[in-house]
C-alpha cells in the first residue's frame, strides 16, 4: 500500500469516529448520523476492500469508545463494514460513472442494508442480554428506513462533486 492510501484510510477512519461520537442524534432506538460519509468516500475512491476496512475500523473504534468490547461487538461492526464492501463493489462496477442517480441508488442500497443488519444486531443483542421487546426492536423500523434513505439521498447530492474534487487531490 502506498503511504498516501494508508494516510487517507486513517483520516477516513478518524472522521468516522468523530462523526459517530459527536454528530449523532439518538432518539429512542434509532439515530440520525453522518458517520457513513467517510465509508462512502473511501469505498467510492479506493474500492471495496478499503471501504470494508474503513467501515470495520471506524465502527469498531466507535464501539470500543462507546460500549467497550461485548459479546455482540462484531455484530454491531458488521453493518458498516459490509456497507463499505458493498459500496466499493458497486462503484467499481460503474467504472467511475458517478452521476447523482448512480450514487443515489448505491447509497440507498447501502442504507437499507445497514438498517437491516443493525436491526438484526439489535435483535440478537436484546435476546442475549434480556431486554428484547418487539416494539423496541421493530417499532421504529419504518422511521429508521426513512431516515436512512433520506440521509443516503442527501449524501448522493454532495458525493459526486466531493469525489471529483478528492480524485484530483489524491490521484
CA distance 21 to 117: 20
Q: How confident is the model over 82-134, as pLDDT tens digits? A: 999 999 999 999 876 888 999 999 999 999 999 999 999 999 999 999 998 88
- Which pTM was predicted? 0.91
CATH code that applies to domain 3-170: 1.10.1760.20
Q: From its phi and psi, is residue 28 left (phi > 0), alpha (psi between -120 and 50) or beta?
A: left
- Indicate the domain borders of the chain: 3-170
Amino acid at each position: 500500500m502506498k503511504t498516501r492510501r494508508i494516510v487517507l484510510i486513517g483520516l477516513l477512519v478518524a472522521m468516522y469516529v468523530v462523526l459517530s461520537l459527536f454528530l449523532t442524534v439518538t432518539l429512542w432506538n434509532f439515530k440520525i448520523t453522518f458517520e457513513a460519509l467517510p465509508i462512502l468516500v473511501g469505498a467510492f475512491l479506493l474500492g471495496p476492500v478499503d471501504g470494508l476496512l474503513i467501515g470495520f475500523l471506524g465502527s469498531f473504534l466507535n464501539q470500543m469508545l462507546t460500549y467497550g468490547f461485548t459479546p455482540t461487538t462484531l455484530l454491531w461492526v458488521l453493518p458498516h463494514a459490509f456497507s463499505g464492501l458493498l459500496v466499493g463493489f458497486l462503484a467499481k462496477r460503474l467504472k467511475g460513472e458517478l452521476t447523482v442517480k448512480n450514487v443515489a441508488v448505491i447509497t440507498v442500497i447501502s442504507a437499507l442494508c445497514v438498517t437491516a443488519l443493525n436491526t438484526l444486531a439489535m435483535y440478537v443483542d436484546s435476546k442475549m442480554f434480556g431486554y428484547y421487546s418487539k416494539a423496541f426492536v421493530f417499532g421504529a423500523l419504518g422511521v429508521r428506513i426513512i431516515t436512512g434513505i433520506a440521509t443516503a439521498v442527501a449524501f448522493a447530492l454532495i458525493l459526486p462533486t466531493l469525489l471529483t474534487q478528492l480524485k484530483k487531490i489524491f490521484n
